[in-house]
Amino acid sequence: MNTTVATGTEGKTWGGGNKPLTASYGKMMMWFFIVSDALTFSGFLAAYGFSRFKFIDSWPIADEVFTHFPFLHGVEAPMYYVAFMTFVLIMSSVTMVLAVDAGHHMNKAKVTIYMFLTVIGGIIFVGSQAWEWNTFIKGEFGAVQTKGGNILQFVDAEGHRVAVADFAKVETGTRTQHESKNGLWFVDEGALPAYTMDEINNGLAAHPEVLVRTQIINEAGKKTVLSREESLKQLKENGRLFVQGANLHVNEYGSPLFADFFFFITGFHGFHVLSGVIINIIIFFNVILGTYERRKSYEMVEKVGLYWHFVDLVWVFVFTFFYLV
């Protein structure tokens, strides 16, 4: 009772009874998940490109934003820290691929060590990213946002940034925080800015060496610095709010969109790293417990390895588009 029909394609790659892609179901599905996730990230990065092209003449210059290095306060170190982060992630990719290789040789001890190192690398990376966020949110110099939502920064004659705290004339007791118990009960007021516009205006007038720098990029690729008269005029006429650091509404370094995309894209990537670390930890314990030894295959390590490398791959692009280009 043989019901098989000869089709003449037996023995060919796609003739059936074969695995044409020579990959297991799980691995293939991990690849297809990676394709779809890559498209999600490209969507975000392309949207970033869109906004950047839209504001090409006023986009923040990354070198001036990410200049900090842990334990080196006040030292200008553009990019060194993020280069370090990139290296950590590539290094943890290497330990991951070494774990996969050890798995092919059914070497449990080596897989354990390499998985452990991969997890450590991932934790260092997520920690670094948290530090980077913290520095960006806190800000350093402070700036003034104008009525039109542009940013005015302050520089000295040599073009170095000047902190608002260094020249603003502080007056006391001019403005009380509105609370529902001392005013309208149904209205809330967010935290008051550290300096009022009057304090900054008076401070600028009293410090002849301080100039205003707008966010417009000139032909030399630098931000435009206004003359002394223009500085005073611009700040007085258009200055509206003191901002320090960055959040989803304001950004002392320039366009708030820059901060929005930074938080969203590095946040989404950081979330991927975090879930990668958690999955790696689960696999690490499975390795220790001998699950894959009993299964006689370490393919699971290979699958999470694919995910982990993908996270590294995305970071390479985020690094380029946020910090280099």
Enumerate binding residues for other proteins (CB under 8 A).
10-11, 17-23, 28, 31-32, 34-35, 38-39, 42-43, 46-47, 49-57, 63, 78-80, 83, 86-87, 90-91, 93-94, 96-98, 100-101, 104, 146-148, 150, 214, 216, 221, 238, 296-297, 305-306, 309-310, 312-313, 316-317, 319-320, 323-325
The rounded distance, in Å, linking the Cα atoms of 279 and 96 is 13
Nearer to other proteins, 245 or 302 (CB): 302
Min dist. Cβ of residue 315 to other proteins (A): 10
Nearer to other proteins, 245 or 304 (CB): 304
Longest dimension (CA), the chain: 102
Min dist. Cβ of residue 269 to other proteins (A): 15
Nearer to other proteins, 252 or 312 (CB): 312
Min dist. Cβ of residue 165 to other proteins (A): 26
The rounded distance, in Å, linking the Cα atoms of 64 and 213 is 13
Report yes or no: 276 and 129 within 8 Å, Cβ to Cβ: no
- Within 10 angstroms of residue 260's Cβ, the number of other Cβ atoms is 17
Nearer to other proteins, 51 or 247 (CB): 51
Nearer to other proteins, 268 or 317 (CB): 317
Nearer to other proteins, 32 or 186 (CB): 32
Min dist. Cβ of residue 240 to other proteins (A): 10
DSSP assignment, residue 13? T
Min dist. Cβ of residue 171 to other proteins (A): 27
Nearer to other proteins, 21 or 72 (CB): 21
- Within 10 angstroms of residue 222's Cβ, the number of other Cβ atoms is 12
The rounded distance, in Å, linking the Cα atoms of 147 and 272 is 38
Radius of gyration of the chain (CA): 27
Min dist. Cβ of residue 260 to other proteins (A): 15
Min dist. Cβ of residue 60 to other proteins (A): 15
Please report, as a single letter, which amino acid is at residue 14.
Answer: W
Residue carrying the six token digits 């070494």 = 98
What separation in angstroms does the CA of 136 have from each of 62, 247, 315?
A: 11, 9, 18
* Helix residue ranges per DSSP H, the chain: 25-54, 62-65, 80-104, 108-138, 164-167, 197-206, 228-238, 256-289, 291-295, 299-319
Q: Which two tokens stand for residue 306?
A: 């694919």
